[in-house]
Structure 1
Amino acid sequence: MNVFAHKIVRSAAVAGLTLASMGGTGAAQASTSAPSGDVSIQESCPSSGQVGYGRVCTSLSSGRLFHDKTQGSGPVTVRTWYEKNSGGSSISAKLGFNYAGTTTWGSTFTQSPGTTKSASWSRNWSSDCYSTIGMMSVTGQGTYQTPSGTC
Protein backbone atom coordinates (compact mmCIF):
# COMPACT_ATOMS: atom_id res chain seq x y z
CA MET A 1 0.00 0.00 0.00
CA ASN A 2 1.45 3.39 -0.89
CA VAL A 3 1.99 6.06 1.78
CA PHE A 4 -0.97 8.16 0.62
CA ALA A 5 -3.40 5.24 0.74
CA HIS A 6 -2.02 4.15 4.13
CA LYS A 7 -2.58 7.65 5.50
CA ILE A 8 -6.20 7.68 4.31
CA VAL A 9 -6.87 4.31 5.97
CA ARG A 10 -5.31 5.54 9.22
CA SER A 11 -7.27 8.79 9.04
CA ALA A 12 -10.55 6.90 8.68
CA ALA A 13 -9.65 4.71 11.67
CA VAL A 14 -9.30 7.71 13.94
CA ALA A 15 -12.31 9.70 12.80
CA GLY A 16 -14.11 8.88 16.05
CA LEU A 17 -11.11 10.00 18.11
CA THR A 18 -10.92 13.29 16.24
CA LEU A 19 -14.55 13.99 17.11
CA ALA A 20 -13.95 13.02 20.73
CA SER A 21 -10.85 15.14 21.25
CA MET A 22 -11.13 18.34 23.18
CA GLY A 23 -10.10 20.81 20.45
CA GLY A 24 -6.86 22.72 20.77
CA THR A 25 -7.21 23.24 24.51
CA GLY A 26 -4.59 20.67 25.46
CA ALA A 27 -7.15 18.54 27.30
CA ALA A 28 -6.94 14.83 26.63
CA GLN A 29 -9.53 12.15 26.59
CA ALA A 30 -8.54 8.89 28.30
CA SER A 31 -10.09 5.62 27.25
CA THR A 32 -9.74 2.03 28.35
CA SER A 33 -9.04 0.48 24.97
CA ALA A 34 -6.60 0.91 22.11
CA PRO A 35 -7.53 3.60 19.60
CA SER A 36 -9.93 2.27 16.97
CA GLY A 37 -8.15 0.19 14.35
CA ASP A 38 -4.91 0.11 16.34
CA VAL A 39 -4.94 -3.23 18.11
CA SER A 40 -1.32 -4.27 17.87
CA ILE A 41 -0.41 -7.78 16.78
CA GLN A 42 3.30 -7.83 17.45
CA GLU A 43 4.95 -9.24 20.56
CA SER A 44 7.45 -6.40 20.90
CA CYS A 45 8.39 -3.15 19.24
CA PRO A 46 11.06 -3.29 16.52
CA SER A 47 14.52 -2.03 17.52
CA SER A 48 13.98 1.09 15.38
CA GLY A 49 10.71 1.83 17.18
CA GLN A 50 9.05 2.55 13.81
CA VAL A 51 5.90 0.46 13.30
CA GLY A 52 4.23 2.36 10.47
CA TYR A 53 3.79 5.72 8.83
CA GLY A 54 4.34 8.15 11.70
CA ARG A 55 3.68 5.46 14.34
CA VAL A 56 6.34 4.56 16.89
CA CYS A 57 6.53 2.33 19.96
CA THR A 58 8.78 1.41 22.85
CA SER A 59 8.79 -1.95 24.64
CA LEU A 60 8.87 -1.62 28.42
CA SER A 61 9.17 -4.42 30.98
CA SER A 62 5.45 -4.13 31.73
CA GLY A 63 4.03 -3.37 28.26
CA ARG A 64 4.30 -1.20 25.15
CA LEU A 65 4.05 2.57 24.74
CA PHE A 66 2.77 3.81 21.35
CA HIS A 67 2.54 7.23 19.73
CA ASP A 68 1.30 8.56 16.40
CA LYS A 69 -0.27 11.50 14.59
CA THR A 70 -2.89 11.58 11.86
CA GLN A 71 -4.46 14.31 9.82
CA GLY A 72 -7.75 14.14 8.02
CA SER A 73 -9.38 17.19 6.51
CA GLY A 74 -8.91 19.23 9.69
CA PRO A 75 -6.59 19.38 12.69
CA VAL A 76 -3.86 16.84 13.44
CA THR A 77 -4.80 14.22 16.04
CA VAL A 78 -1.86 13.36 18.32
CA ARG A 79 -2.24 10.09 20.24
CA THR A 80 -0.27 8.22 22.88
CA TRP A 81 -1.39 4.90 24.34
CA TYR A 82 -0.03 2.23 26.65
CA GLU A 83 -0.78 -1.50 26.48
CA LYS A 84 -0.06 -2.94 29.93
CA ASN A 85 0.91 -6.62 30.17
CA SER A 86 -1.45 -8.94 32.04
CA GLY A 87 1.08 -9.54 34.86
CA GLY A 88 2.11 -7.26 37.67
CA SER A 89 0.08 -4.70 39.56
CA SER A 90 -1.92 -1.58 38.73
CA ILE A 91 -0.13 1.70 38.07
CA SER A 92 -1.00 5.36 38.40
CA ALA A 93 0.19 7.24 35.34
CA LYS A 94 -0.46 9.94 32.77
CA LEU A 95 0.17 10.02 29.03
CA GLY A 96 1.45 12.89 26.97
CA PHE A 97 3.61 14.03 24.09
CA ASN A 98 6.57 16.32 23.58
CA TYR A 99 6.76 18.79 20.72
CA ALA A 100 9.64 21.25 20.32
CA GLY A 101 10.78 20.77 23.92
CA THR A 102 7.36 21.27 25.52
CA THR A 103 5.48 18.32 27.03
CA THR A 104 1.68 18.25 27.11
CA TRP A 105 0.18 15.86 29.67
CA GLY A 106 -3.25 14.28 29.96
CA SER A 107 -5.01 13.47 33.23
CA THR A 108 -3.67 10.95 35.74
CA PHE A 109 -5.36 7.53 35.62
CA THR A 110 -5.09 4.11 37.26
CA GLN A 111 -4.36 1.24 34.90
CA SER A 112 -4.91 -2.44 35.66
CA PRO A 113 -2.85 -5.27 34.15
CA GLY A 114 -4.09 -6.48 30.77
CA THR A 115 -5.64 -3.14 29.75
CA THR A 116 -4.86 -0.28 27.38
CA LYS A 117 -5.17 3.42 28.18
CA SER A 118 -4.96 6.17 25.59
CA ALA A 119 -5.02 9.94 25.32
CA SER A 120 -5.45 12.18 22.28
CA TRP A 121 -5.09 15.83 21.49
CA SER A 122 -6.16 17.93 18.52
CA ARG A 123 -3.65 20.43 17.15
CA ASN A 124 -4.06 23.02 14.40
CA TRP A 125 -0.78 22.14 12.69
CA SER A 126 -0.43 22.43 8.93
CA SER A 127 0.89 18.86 8.72
CA ASP A 128 1.20 15.67 10.78
CA CYS A 129 4.92 15.55 9.90
CA TYR A 130 6.02 17.57 12.94
CA SER A 131 8.42 15.56 15.09
CA THR A 132 6.80 14.51 18.37
CA ILE A 133 7.62 12.01 21.12
CA GLY A 134 5.09 9.96 23.07
CA MET A 135 5.48 10.23 26.85
CA MET A 136 4.24 8.33 29.91
CA SER A 137 4.87 9.32 33.53
CA VAL A 138 4.28 6.54 36.07
CA THR A 139 3.93 7.63 39.69
CA GLY A 140 6.87 6.38 41.75
CA GLN A 141 8.64 4.84 38.73
CA GLY A 142 9.64 7.59 36.32
CA THR A 143 8.99 8.89 32.83
CA TYR A 144 9.20 6.82 29.65
CA GLN A 145 9.16 7.88 26.02
CA THR A 146 8.91 6.60 22.47
CA PRO A 147 11.35 7.41 19.69
CA SER A 148 10.53 10.52 17.70
CA GLY A 149 7.46 10.07 15.49
CA THR A 150 8.01 11.70 12.12
CA CYS A 151 6.85 11.06 8.53
Structure 2
Amino acid sequence: MEVEMKIRGLMMDPVTNMPIVILKDVQGSMVLPIWVGVYEANAIALEIEKVSTPRPMTHDLIKSLLLGLNTGLRKVVVSELKDDTFYAVIWLDRDGDLISVDSRPSDALALALRLDCPIYVEESVLKSSKLASSVSDKASNDELRRMLEGLNDEDFGRYKM
Protein backbone atom coordinates (compact mmCIF):
# COMPACT_ATOMS: atom_id res chain seq x y z
CA MET A 1 0.00 0.00 0.00
CA GLU A 2 1.21 3.49 -0.84
CA VAL A 3 1.15 6.36 1.67
CA GLU A 4 0.89 9.88 0.27
CA MET A 5 3.67 12.15 1.47
CA LYS A 6 4.68 15.79 1.05
CA ILE A 7 8.13 17.30 1.09
CA ARG A 8 8.29 19.04 4.45
CA GLY A 9 11.68 20.58 3.87
CA LEU A 10 15.40 20.10 3.64
CA MET A 11 17.93 20.10 6.43
CA MET A 12 21.51 19.10 7.08
CA ASP A 13 22.31 15.98 9.08
CA PRO A 14 24.18 17.31 12.12
CA VAL A 15 26.32 14.16 12.26
CA THR A 16 27.26 13.52 8.61
CA ASN A 17 26.72 17.06 7.31
CA MET A 18 24.77 15.57 4.40
CA PRO A 19 21.46 16.99 3.15
CA ILE A 20 18.25 15.24 4.18
CA VAL A 21 14.91 15.54 2.40
CA ILE A 22 12.13 15.32 4.99
CA LEU A 23 8.95 13.62 3.80
CA LYS A 24 5.87 13.74 5.99
CA ASP A 25 2.61 11.91 5.35
CA VAL A 26 -0.43 14.05 4.60
CA GLN A 27 -2.03 13.08 7.94
CA GLY A 28 1.14 14.34 9.64
CA SER A 29 1.91 11.30 11.76
CA MET A 30 4.90 9.75 9.91
CA VAL A 31 8.22 11.28 8.93
CA LEU A 32 10.70 9.76 6.49
CA PRO A 33 14.17 11.27 6.19
CA ILE A 34 16.00 10.49 2.94
CA TRP A 35 19.67 11.38 2.74
CA VAL A 36 20.60 12.81 -0.67
CA GLY A 37 23.65 14.25 -2.35
CA VAL A 38 24.51 17.94 -2.31
CA TYR A 39 23.67 18.52 -5.98
CA GLU A 40 20.38 16.65 -5.71
CA ALA A 41 19.43 18.65 -2.62
CA ASN A 42 20.26 21.84 -4.49
CA ALA A 43 17.92 20.83 -7.35
CA ILE A 44 15.12 20.26 -4.85
CA ALA A 45 15.89 23.46 -2.94
CA LEU A 46 15.82 25.57 -6.13
CA GLU A 47 12.29 24.40 -6.85
CA ILE A 48 11.08 24.71 -3.24
CA GLU A 49 12.33 28.30 -3.19
CA LYS A 50 11.12 28.98 -6.77
CA VAL A 51 14.57 30.18 -7.82
CA SER A 52 14.93 30.53 -11.56
CA THR A 53 18.27 29.81 -13.18
CA PRO A 54 19.63 31.47 -16.31
CA ARG A 55 19.73 28.10 -18.13
CA PRO A 56 17.57 25.02 -17.57
CA MET A 57 18.75 22.60 -14.92
CA THR A 58 18.51 18.87 -15.65
CA HIS A 59 15.11 18.43 -13.99
CA ASP A 60 13.77 21.50 -15.81
CA LEU A 61 14.98 19.96 -19.07
CA ILE A 62 13.21 16.67 -18.26
CA LYS A 63 10.04 18.62 -17.46
CA SER A 64 10.22 20.38 -20.82
CA LEU A 65 10.82 17.08 -22.63
CA LEU A 66 7.84 15.42 -20.93
CA LEU A 67 5.56 18.35 -21.69
CA GLY A 68 6.82 18.51 -25.30
CA LEU A 69 6.09 14.81 -25.72
CA ASN A 70 2.59 15.23 -24.23
CA THR A 71 3.55 12.95 -21.35
CA GLY A 72 2.32 13.60 -17.84
CA LEU A 73 3.84 12.65 -14.54
CA ARG A 74 1.13 10.67 -12.73
CA LYS A 75 3.01 10.05 -9.48
CA VAL A 76 6.37 9.18 -7.96
CA VAL A 77 6.76 6.35 -5.49
CA VAL A 78 9.62 5.67 -3.09
CA SER A 79 9.26 1.97 -3.66
CA GLU A 80 12.03 0.13 -1.87
CA LEU A 81 14.71 0.34 0.81
CA LYS A 82 17.49 -2.15 0.23
CA ASP A 83 20.92 -2.12 1.92
CA ASP A 84 20.30 1.42 3.25
CA THR A 85 19.54 2.67 -0.27
CA PHE A 86 16.15 4.05 -1.26
CA TYR A 87 14.69 3.31 -4.70
CA ALA A 88 11.92 5.14 -6.52
CA VAL A 89 9.68 4.74 -9.54
CA ILE A 90 8.41 7.56 -11.72
CA TRP A 91 5.00 6.81 -13.24
CA LEU A 92 4.47 8.53 -16.60
CA ASP A 93 1.15 8.80 -18.44
CA ARG A 94 1.31 8.97 -22.24
CA ASP A 95 -2.00 8.77 -24.08
CA GLY A 96 -3.48 6.68 -21.28
CA ASP A 97 -0.54 4.25 -21.17
CA LEU A 98 1.32 4.06 -17.85
CA ILE A 99 5.08 3.81 -18.10
CA SER A 100 7.27 3.09 -15.04
CA VAL A 101 10.80 4.45 -14.90
CA ASP A 102 13.38 3.48 -12.28
CA SER A 103 14.78 6.52 -10.49
CA ARG A 104 16.75 7.76 -7.56
CA PRO A 105 14.35 9.24 -5.00
CA SER A 106 16.06 12.63 -5.19
CA ASP A 107 15.45 12.86 -8.96
CA ALA A 108 11.86 11.63 -8.60
CA LEU A 109 11.19 14.22 -5.87
CA ALA A 110 12.76 17.04 -7.90
CA LEU A 111 10.51 16.15 -10.85
CA ALA A 112 7.43 15.79 -8.65
CA LEU A 113 7.95 19.32 -7.37
CA ARG A 114 8.39 20.74 -10.86
CA LEU A 115 5.36 18.96 -12.29
CA ASP A 116 3.17 19.22 -9.17
CA CYS A 117 2.41 15.52 -8.90
CA PRO A 118 1.76 13.38 -5.84
CA ILE A 119 4.54 11.67 -3.91
CA TYR A 120 3.99 8.27 -2.33
CA VAL A 121 6.05 5.93 -0.19
CA GLU A 122 5.37 2.22 -0.01
CA GLU A 123 4.21 1.23 3.46
CA SER A 124 6.89 -1.49 3.51
CA VAL A 125 9.56 1.21 3.08
CA LEU A 126 8.19 3.14 6.05
CA LYS A 127 8.23 -0.02 8.16
CA SER A 128 11.73 -1.00 6.96
CA SER A 129 13.01 2.46 7.71
CA LYS A 130 11.70 2.28 11.29
CA LEU A 131 13.11 -1.22 11.69
CA ALA A 132 16.48 -0.18 10.28
CA SER A 133 16.73 2.76 12.66
CA SER A 134 16.02 0.54 15.65
CA VAL A 135 18.64 -2.01 14.59
CA SER A 136 21.55 0.28 13.82
CA ASP A 137 22.89 3.12 15.95
CA LYS A 138 19.81 3.36 18.18
CA ALA A 139 20.83 6.35 20.29
CA SER A 140 21.67 8.73 17.45
CA ASN A 141 18.79 7.50 15.23
CA ASP A 142 16.26 7.90 18.04
CA GLU A 143 17.61 11.37 18.71
CA LEU A 144 17.39 12.29 15.02
CA ARG A 145 13.87 10.83 14.71
CA ARG A 146 12.68 12.85 17.77
CA MET A 147 14.23 15.97 16.26
CA LEU A 148 12.55 15.34 12.88
CA GLU A 149 9.15 14.63 14.38
CA GLY A 150 9.31 17.79 16.49
CA LEU A 151 10.10 20.16 13.62
CA ASN A 152 7.82 23.09 12.95
CA ASP A 153 7.70 25.72 10.18
CA GLU A 154 10.25 28.01 11.87
CA ASP A 155 12.84 25.21 11.79
CA PHE A 156 12.90 25.17 8.00
CA GLY A 157 13.98 28.63 6.83
CA ARG A 158 15.61 29.05 3.47
CA TYR A 159 17.75 26.09 2.50
CA LYS A 160 21.41 26.96 2.04
CA MET A 161 24.20 24.76 0.71
The higher relative CO (CA closer than 8 Å, separation ≥ 6) is in 1
Compare the two structures and name the one with the higher strand fraction: 1
Q: Same fold (TM over 0.5)?
A: no
TM-score normalised to structure 1 length? 0.25
Rg comparison, structure with higher value: 2
